[in-house]
Chain A
């Protein structure tokens, strides 16, 4: 952990480092909140906070396009939909949280150990990221979006296409799994509506005319109606 402390003392001066640690702290607290919150709505909102702060971290890495996309797509679209779904569903929380406390000690110990080991390995100076140098700052007017667009359609065209196929599979799978034809469901068939002819709707029957029967006692009938 020595390397970690040293780096901290070198960088504490800069404002950027302060923002980094601030955002990271909020991110970690929010992420912990997502899994410990009792109310699923709170969990979803905390996840929104986590996305927001991590997009701030991406901004600091000069990846503006990705940062904005994260906010637009995940916070704006995915999480709002998610919130709707959570609100629509009647989730049995007691059942969901069954065993949480039973597994917490074991899981907690493993988790803390993992975090300690990971930070030791990753911040070590011999072969870890401890001696990593920051990438050079990009010149003003550098368009992150343009560079990404150029790469996606040239060098990364193959993975880009595969990602498109994955989305297609998602559509096919979602439809195959959820579309059901009910026998009783009511629907319109425009083709049949257009192709219909008069004879299908109106049947003209010719029959001999009948004489209308004269009601036997109209006066008596109206009398009874009044009563």
Chain B
């Protein structure tokens, strides 16, 4: 029994897995008309996991499962944001998936398994668990993208996602095997200790690092490894795009922190990966922002906007130190909040047989519903980084950190390309307020989705006016984890 002691840090994972299996079986006995029971059970499971995480939260890092699992403040905070994200995703997506025949037990089971994969990644302290968590997440997502079987577009997207995802996994594994060859361990804390003792073969280590950086680039969707992102975002059912585009970035951030900062954070090695990440960050900012201008499909535009946001996130990590990593964490949390709202809005405006995914579908939204137009305005302003929305503070924190770290040129590039990027966000605002509506169908979403989306939109404003608590939380969780 000493191998699984203490067990309590893993209670949320155990609870989620048990409930996912219960839902999988219970769903077999539920008829199609009563499918909302499955939905309710899934939401309760996520809420329960959130409660357990809240009560088992620990300030000090706790290692368990022979050092393969770590529970620290960073993992608790990221997990709580993940639960909130998944709950909102399900609320926003409910109408959409019901109308498209995806309101099935498998959708919920796969969502829960994907969430479990995220949690495993967030709490991993071993390269093996990091990789297995990633695979659990990816496999569930491939299936979710392909779940709309009649759609050729979705199947194509799933295929592309699967092939490129497998390629990225191969690269990650190869890099990890090199790290193992150089240090003789897969456990993150031990790798760090071995490197600190200078018993590591640096050439092999850096060689493995190249593959790791490429794999991370793929998973984050940072240029030049971004090719899959627009096609998958565009082709997948919007409900699944909402999932792919939001919560996995939290786990990807944890992935980067655990792998690059906690395991390979020694100054000498850090200099190597900072260079690699800097190239990816600059390319992401350029390609993401410039290409997004040419898009007429909102899902594609948001995909390119994701690429540019990932550039910003990478800049935070390049800056390094407590400020840099904390600003990166703040940025990724804010990013998830904003994209939840933006994709949620597409879902809300969609109806049976109609996807509100072209930017022209947002024309004259103000005439149709001033409140939704206002929420979308807040979300777009936040993505563009206009004060007083929270997106401004996220960008500001990253820029401050990078200037403090002495890479002023990166800050200059980031500012220039955010300005270019502001164009396509503000274009949406212009379409909503200054153009006439072509489509005057009334917008009738469910009440819970309306309320949640309103809270989501207003949160972007509220965190923008009072950003300090969230920034402080990110800073203290990074401090506890370093």
What residues of chain A have their CB less than 8 Å away from a CB belonging to chain B? Answer: 118, 121-122, 124, 126-129, 154-159, 162-163, 165-166, 168-170, 172-173, 175-177, 180
Contacts and interface: CB of A to CB of B under 8 A. Distances in A.
Nearest to B126: A159
A156 B136 CA distance: 17
Nearest to B68: A158
B147 A127 contact: no
A192 to B, nearest CB: 16
A118 B203 CA distance: 11
B24 interface: yes
A169 B203 contact: no
Interface residues of B, number: 38
Given A165-B17, A176-B104, A155 B66 contact: yes
Contacts, number: 87
16 contacts: A126-B203, A127-B205, A129-B201, A156-B128, A158-B65, A162-B132, A165-B17, A165-B116, A168-B113, A173-B110, A173-B140, A176-B104, A176-B106, A177-B146, A177-B149, A180-B149
Interface in B1-44: 3-4, 10, 17, 21, 24
Contacts of B126: 159
B204 A129 contact: yes
A162 B136 contact: yes
B142 A159 contact: no
Given A162-B129, A166-B136, 14 more contacts: A127-B201, A127-B205, A129-B201, A156-B66, A156-B128, A157-B4, A158-B4, A165-B136, A166-B139, A169-B113, A172-B110, A173-B139, A175-B106, A177-B143
Given A158-B69, A177-B143, A127 B203 contact: yes
Contacts of B17: 165
A126 B128 CA distance: 28
B129 A158 contact: yes
A169 B140 contact: yes
Contact of B142 (A121, A127, A173, A175): A173
B106 A127 contact: no
Interface of B: 3-4, 10, 17, 21, 24, 65-66, 68-69, 104, 106, 109-110, 113, 116, 120, 126, 128-129, 132-133, 135-136, 139-140, 142-143, 146-147, 149, 181, 201-205, 207
A176 B110 contact: yes
Given A121-B207, A169-B113, A159 B143 contact: no
B65 A176 contact: no
B139 A127 contact: no
Contacts of A169: 110, 113, 136, 139-140, 143
Given A166-B135, A166-B136, A166-B139, A159 B203 contact: no
